[in-house]
Structure 1
Amino acid sequence: MLLSANRNLLPLFKKLSYQIIGNPKDFPLENRIFNAICAIALFIIAFNVPYNYLTGLKMTSLIFGILVISFAGIYYLSRFRNKLTISVALSVIVVNILFAVNYFYSGGIQGASLLSFTLAFFLTMLISSPRQYTWWLLLNLATVVGVIIYEYYHPSSVAAVYATREDLFADMTPTYITDVVVIFVGTMYLKNAYRKEKERGDEKNKSLELMNAEKSKLFSLISHDLRNPLASIQSYLQLIKEIELEPKDKAQIEAELLYVVNNTQEMLYNILMWSKTQMDGPNVHLSKVNVSYAIQPILQINKLAVSKKKISLETYIDEEMEVLADLNMLQLIVRNLLGNASKFTPAGGTIVVRTSVVEGNCLIEVKDSGNGIHQQEDIFSLKVRSTFGTDNEKGVGMGLFLCREYTNAQNGKIWFQNNQEGGSSFYLELPLAN
């Protein structure tokens, strides 16, 4: 029960902390640290107003009251107006001035003011930028040394506020405890914030390393796999140029050439889309898309590939079905799935494209009668090496990777299975538009 209650309180505490110090998405680390310190300082200073009044330090109580009003305004500037630099400068100057005045009304060098100056300087180092450290150090030293020297030569300037020994202990003890607690909380918060920022940096570094590794592999694949289709195109063109071919042979070579160009174009298109996604991120425009309208052009494009291998292409597509998807992404996914099916289906085989409704979603199935998929691990990643098709077709091994990326971007699901009767089926599930 206690563990469950803690889990329920954690989101509330997180939401409250975001309201006080700001959401990490909207405020940088330095701003959040300053807001947190301002909130803590307001609580401590507000507590000291009645405490000092009750212990007889009425002027100190008044000074702390002014500090409460000042810090409330500074906190507003930082948290709600996002003016961190001005807020830091105002807080440091106000604290040093009011603490210097309070020095002469709280026992001088024998009172708790020096502890307060020490705490103020610690908090100043936490909230200020490194380029300001020297200035705030000089201000703190000048203020503290200045009031001490003034008191040394003018002892009467310090009011006698401690009537008894108990009054001195009543002032010094809570001041020291407050200083230690604030230093502890501030240090722990700073270390925790630093750890989180370091973890974010490590995650970004890992992502960059993975991206660089993928790019290196991609460039290696491109340099190797584009040579074969380009060499084929060159050979066809050389043959046409040097030999007078019969119309029948010329038509066959032209069909072969067109087939190679289409495969190469598909390969380059996948590379282009992957590169664009890496640079700009997936640009998704979800809208109501008619599935039949989206798939029919892909079927027309693939007719050449399936007719060349004498593959039977069967379609069972609901012409009224509409999904919530990105038209270009949907077409790229279906194009890659259908291209893979024709690539790994032997001559005389069958490819079936079917749509259906399953649990309120649209299910698109691309089924082939090939040999099935033997290398099943990481098939939707760039770790898989592209293999030759039944007619020596070749790609760069990134089609299914793009299918997974674009399916996720459209809030869909994609998976596959080997069929008992042979071949494999790929399934694309997308939400219906209605």
Structure 2
Amino acid sequence: MRIDFTKQLQAKLLYLVGPPDQVTLENRIFNSMCLLAMVVSVVQIPFNYFTGLRMTGFIFAILLLALAGLYYLSRFKNRSALSIAISVVLVNLLFAWIYFVSSGISGASLMTFTLTFFLVMIVAPRGQYVIWLVFNLLLVAAIILIEYYHPELVPNMYADRASKIVDLSATYLTSVLVIFFGTIYLKNAYNREKQQREEKTRVLEVLNTEKNKLFSIISHDLRSPMASIQSYLELMKDIQLPPEQKLQLEAELLAMVNNTQDMLYNMLLWSKSQLQGLTVHLAPVNVFKAVMTVLDIHTTFITNKRLHLTTDIDKNLTAMADLNMLQLIIRNLVGNAIKFTAPGGQISLEARQENQQCVITIRDSGTGIDPKRVPEIFSLKARSTFGTGNEKGIGLGLYLCGEYTTAQHGRIWFQNNPDKGCSFFLSFPLA
């Protein structure tokens, strides 16, 4: 119960100050100072009234109304720069007024000028520091000189010695507490901003490293099929090959070109998502039609590798998904099953309803997944490996599968089969 109350209080304070993703640090500090100053004013109004400084209490009431207006202008009208400038001038002029009705230099007004300058230096833009320093010094010097040459303008407003001690003590206590909590808030805000910047820097460094690694792998892996195609064309030009050998080379080159095309397609999708972000269009998708379209593309590879494919899919099963993303995921998973299954092996594809989820299973009798690679299988850290037919990838397919499944509010996971091979599972909400 106490934890819930604390969370509710923190949420309300965050709303009053301004969410960090919508309001700058300087503006949040200014909003906090306005709220803090309003609290101080609320305390000072009755305190000054009962200590005999009724005019001072009246001035604090005016200050309270002014601060409320400036806070509203900054927090809800996004006019923080104007609010800061008005508040600095207004608060200093009001404290100058308080100086003359609160016994002048014999009272507590100079401490309030010090506190005000501290708050101004926190919220003011860096380019205005000198301006507000000069303003504060000239204003304080002016009112002290006025009192020096015209002491009659500053009457003693304290009823007795006890009232003066109470006022000075209360002003000192208020100033110390405001400086204390203001400094803590400022340090915490600075540390949070610093941590966020460091975290962003670390993320950018990781992304940059992964990007360099990815491009290095691509540049390396693209050379191999291109060199093979070049060698084949040169061979065809110079030597007349027997028909059987020619068909075998053509089949190998076709598989190599298709594998390279898949690599480039994945790369283009990844690049697009990095530049433009993922765009998801969820709609009811007939799973049977979506899957069979993908399997038609892989028919040639399945036949050439003499794999046995079985399917068990409810023709009426409908999932809430993005058709293009779903087919990309299945194409990558089926492609991996073909790639890592030895000739003569088996691949099965099933889709069924479990509770309110559509669960798709791609199972193969291939080489399985090394347990050491499990933690990074859906990340950019995953290393590409050769298939049973020497097929090569770039380790990007499963990363895209994970990203696209999450974007569709789905789930993807896998496990090694008890005998051999592995099974990948996809789960999407039913339409």
In the superposition, the TM-score normalised over structure 1's length comes to 0.95
Q: Cα offset for 1:369?
A: 1.2
Residues 204-219 of structure 1 correspond to what in structure 2 (within 5 A)? 204-219=200-215
Q: Which residue of 2 aligns with 1:97?
A: 93
2:147 aligned with 1:151 = yes
Which position in structure 2 is the counterpart of 1:13? 9
After superposition, residues 245-394 of structure 1 pair within 5 angstroms as 245=241, 250-375=246-371, 376-377=373-374, 378-394=376-392
List aligned pairs for 1:22-37, cutoff 5 A. 22-37=18-33
Task: Tell me which residue corresponds to 1:178.
Answer: 174
The answer to whether the aligner puts 1:137 opposite 2:142 as a matched pair is no
Does residue 68 (structure 1) correspond to residue 64 (structure 2)? The answer is yes
Deviations 1:156-194 (A, max 9, x none): 110211231112112111111111111111111111111
For residue 419 of structure 1, what is the amino acid of its counterpart? N
Counterpart of 2:89, as a letter, is I
1:403: which partner in 2? Answer: 401
**TM superposition shift of 1:19:** 2.5
- SS at the partner of 1:387? coil
- 8 A Cα contact 2:111 2:172, kept in partner: yes
Q: Deviations over 1:234-275 (max 9, x none)?
A: 122223333345666555444333222111000111111222
Aligned-partner residue type, residue 354 of structure 2 = V
Deviations 1:5-33 (A, max 9, x none): 33211220122112311222221111111
Distance in 1, Cα, partners of 2:298 & 2:397 = 15
Q: C-alpha separation between the residues in 2 aligned to 1:384 and 1:45?
A: 60
Amino acid at match of 1:411: H
SS in 2 for 1:356: strand
SS where residue 226 of structure 1 aligns?
Answer: helix
Deviation of 1:81 after TM superposition, in Å, equals 0.3
Quote the Cα distance in structure 2 between the aligned partners of 1:50 and 1:424.
Answer: 76
Measured in 2, the distance between the counterparts of 1:218 and 1:364 equals: 29
The residue number in structure 1 matching 2:235 is 239
Maintained 8 Å contact 2:52/2:159 = no
Name the aligned partner's letter for residue 21 of structure 1.
V
Q: Partners of 1:194 and 1:200 in 2: how far apart? A: 10
Q: Distance in 2 between matches of 1:77 and 1:218?
A: 49
2:380 partner SS: coil
* Amino acid in structure 1 at the alignment position of 2:142: G
Structure 2 SS opposite 1:314? strand
* Aligned partner of residue 370 in structure 2, secondary structure: coil
Per the TM alignment, residue 298 of structure 1 is displaced from its structure 2 partner at its CA by 1.1
Question: Whole-Å Cα distance in 2 between the matches of residues 431 and 403 of structure 1?
Answer: 17
1:48 maps to which of 44, 51, 68: 44
**1:424 alignment counterpart:** 422
* Root-mean-square deviation over aligned CA pairs: 1.5
* 2-structure distance, mates of 1:101, 1:57: 13
Give the C-alpha shift of residue 385 in structure 1. Answer: 2.0
Q: Distance in 2 between matches of 1:277 and 1:11?
A: 36
**Deviation by residue 1:120-152 (Cα, 9 ceiling, x = unmatched):** 111101111111111111111111011001111
User: Aligned partners of 1:238 and 1:315: how far apart in 2?
Assistant: 42
Secondary structure of 2:31's partner? helix
Q: Write the letter of the residue equivalent to 1:230.
A: M
Distance 1:420 1:173 in 2: 79
Q: Which moved more, 1:106-115 or 1:43-52?
A: 43-52
Structure-2 separation of matches of 1:187 and 1:371: 61
CA distance in 2, matches of 1:81, 1:163: 44
SS at match of 2:101: coil
Maintained 8 Å contact 2:266/2:396: yes
For 1:385, what is the secondary structure of its paired residue?
Answer: coil
Q: How many Å separate the matches in 2 of 1:6 and 1:187?
A: 27
Matching residue of 1:122? 118
Say how many residue pairs are matched: 429
Extract structure 1 runs of 4+ deviating beyond 6 A. none
Query: Take 1:409 and 1:176, find their aligned partners in 2: how far apart are those partners?
Result: 57
The whole-number CA distance in structure 2 between the counterparts of 1:389 and 1:162 is 92
Aligned to 2:164: 168
In structure 2, what residue type is equivalent to 1:55?
A: T
2:410–2:429: 8 Å Cα contact kept in structure 1?
Answer: yes
Whole-angstrom distance in 1 between the partners of 2:183 and 2:100: 30
- What amino acid is aligned across from residue 202 of structure 2 in structure 1? K
TM-score by length of 2: 0.96
Deviation per residue, 1:213-242 (Å, 9 max, x gap): 101211221122111111121122223333
